[in-house]
Amino acid sequence: MINNDATRKSDSCVMIIFGATGDLTKRKLYPALYYLARDGYLPSNFAVIGVGRQEMSSEDFKKKIGDDLKDFIGDGYDQSLLDWFSERTYYTGGDFDDDKALFGDIKDLLEMVTEKHSIPANFFFYMAIPPSLFADVTHKICKNGLAEESNGLWRRFIFEKPFGRDISSAKQLNADLLKILTEKQIYRIDHYLGKETVQNILVFRFGNSIFEPIWNRNFIDHVQITVAEDLGVEQRAGYYDKAGALRDMVPNHIFQLVTLTAMEPPVSFEADAVRDEQAKILQAIQAYSPEDVLNKTVRGQYDSGEIEGKPVPAYRTENGVPETSETETYAALKLSIDNWRWAGVPFYIRTGKRLERKHTSILIQFKQAPFVLFRDTPVERLTTNRIVLHIQPDEGITLHFGAKVPGPLVSMGSVDMDFDYADHFGETISTGYERLLYDCMLGDATLFQRADMVESSWRIVSPVLDVWDAIPARSFPNYNSGSWGPPEADELLERDGRKWKNDIE
């Protein structure tokens, strides 16, 4: 449930992180645990066991975690909290393929840790490992009797994205996991749902009375969702070159934004009530025929260019990227949601790396008011209203409307009304993972993806991938770093008489 009691603490439990020496543990998971502990949301009886391929002693792992936390938090770190974590952090390493040695060690360690810290055997396993290992590692955990829930004890599993690479692999993965776990034990994480501004979409829409009556095809002309990044592929070419922008961002993060923007009000904030409504939107998104893929989707790959005055290299010359790579680093799609509320209202979505700046927003463009009244005035065009939900950075909401320019003539100017999160609520430092880890400990799956949602998302994206795979992208690279993407993406909207809004701050 979203409206949970702020003072509610989870049952005492142990978190077991697979992939504990990786980047996610360092940049997100431990910092999130630190902030949860600081704010009093972790149970007092709590421990973490890191598991990785690397052999390392618990002492060395504790030291690494302590150093990483100091780096992350900077000067203001709280030594007593670091000591608290150090007392309850453990590590074991080994070969994930060997179901006896490593998994036997994990079992022994869990026995020791639960006894030492007086923790009932509630476990949550965090799979920060490649998706190809999800089913096998989970299977080994089950084989060692660590996944069985009995006597009121719980066993939960969080799986990082990507959850599959297409519709068939996602179905296979769901089927494999559901042979050994129940759906209630599975938490498919999407870190966008941990963002306050993303959670606020529901509160904004359904906690106010003035927006919902106009939130439909009678008033809205179209919706634009932009998830732009200025960073390139960084050190992740191994993963990214096989995934591409579409798989990496669309069936997960962007579809979360689409469903929360488009869904009907749920009957309650219970996990399945919210997810049922999101799932209905995914089911209503029209599937693409091969011809639609050619007309309604655009892909791009970045060339060299400049970002904030600094030269940056082309994707094909980045570390680990093949010189002839055809992987897209940009994707734009026109989606049609075939239901009563949204018929005829296109949702244009785009995402890309090395774009002009980091910027994620949802823009709701309203229809124009009738011009009739202004025919005999100097006003040439009316301002069209829009609401922009600024997801990140500079989180906030803007309402754009027209106002009379003071003076004797009727003249119209475009103005903005702005709400800024930081001004109203102060800056909150978080990784976005706090809420998700906390919810998993409480057994609340509202902000996690259900099996059917993952499969519906792939149903939409897979036909696009099939056509893109079959037809080589001859024009790559087709946009300069530091631009807003390939010209074809502009044409996608121009054909409908519309334009991307790039200048929103």
Catalytic site residues?
253
Location of structure tokens 């600024």: 390
Residue 301 DSSP symbol: -
Question: To the nearest whole angstrom, how small is the minimum distance from the Cβ of residue 248 to ligand BG6?
Answer: 5
Query: Structure tokens of 483?
Result: 């631009």
Of 229 and 292, CB closest to ligand BG6: 229
Query: Structure tokens of 157?
Result: 């599993």
Of 110 and 388, CB closest to ligand BG6: 388
Does 318 sit near ligand BG6 (CB under 6 A)? no
Q: 358-374 burial, b for 16+ CB within 10 Å, e for fewer? A: ebbbbbbbbeeeeeeee
Of 361 and 478, CB closest to ligand BG6: 361
Phi, psi (rounded to 5 degrees) for 203: -65, -45
Phi, psi (rounded to 5 degrees) for 481: -55, 140
Measured distance CA(442)–CA(416) in Å, rounded: 40
Question: To the nearest whole angstrom, how small is the minimum distance from the Cβ of residue 161 to ligand BG6?
Answer: 6
- Which residues 6+ apart lie within 8 Å of 454 measured at CB? 163, 164, 170, 174, 188, 251
| Choice from 166, 221, 241, 248 touching ligand BG6 (CB under 6 A) | 248
Estimate the crossing angle of helix 271-284 against helix 255-262, to 10 degrees: 100
Torsion angle defined by CA atoms of residues 175, 181, 185 and 187, in that order, rounded to the nearest 10 degrees = -30
- Binding footprint of ligand BG6, residue count (CB under 6 A): 3
Question: To the nearest whole angstrom, how small is the minimum distance from the Cβ of residue 304 to ligand BG6?
Answer: 20
Residues 150-179 that bind ligand BG6 (CB under 6 A): 161
Q: Of the candidates 169, 175, 111, 164, which has an alpha carbon nearest to the alpha carbon of residue 139? A: 175
Q: Of the candidates 329, 351, 350, which has an alpha carbon nearest to the alpha carbon of residue 468? A: 329
Helix (H) or strand (E) run with residue 241 in it: helix 237-249
**Binding-site string for ligand BG6 from residue 179 to residue 218, where x marks contact by CB under 6 A and - marks none:** ----------------------------------------
Question: To the nearest whole angstrom, how small is the minimum distance from the Cβ of residue 227 to ligand BG6?
Answer: 7
Question: To the nearest whole angstrom, how small is the minimum distance from the Cβ of residue 229 to ligand BG6?
Answer: 5
Question: To the nearest whole angstrom, how small is the minimum distance from the Cβ of residue 484 to ligand BG6?
Answer: 17
Of 327 and 385, CB closest to ligand BG6: 327
| Choice from 68, 136, 176, 229 touching ligand BG6 (CB under 6 A) | 229
Ranked by CB distance to ligand BG6, the top (closest) residue is 248
Question: To the nearest whole angstrom, how small is the minimum distance from the Cβ of residue 196 to ligand BG6?
Answer: 12
Of 45 and 430, CB closest to ligand BG6: 430
Of 99 and 229, CB closest to ligand BG6: 229
Tell how many helices (H) and how many strands (E) occur in the chain. Answer: 16, 17
Q: DSSP per residue over 382-415, as a string? A: PPPPEEEEEEESS-EEEEEEEEEPSSSS--EEEE
Of 161 and 275, CB closest to ligand BG6: 161
Contact positions vs ligand BG6 (CB under 6 A): 161, 229, 248
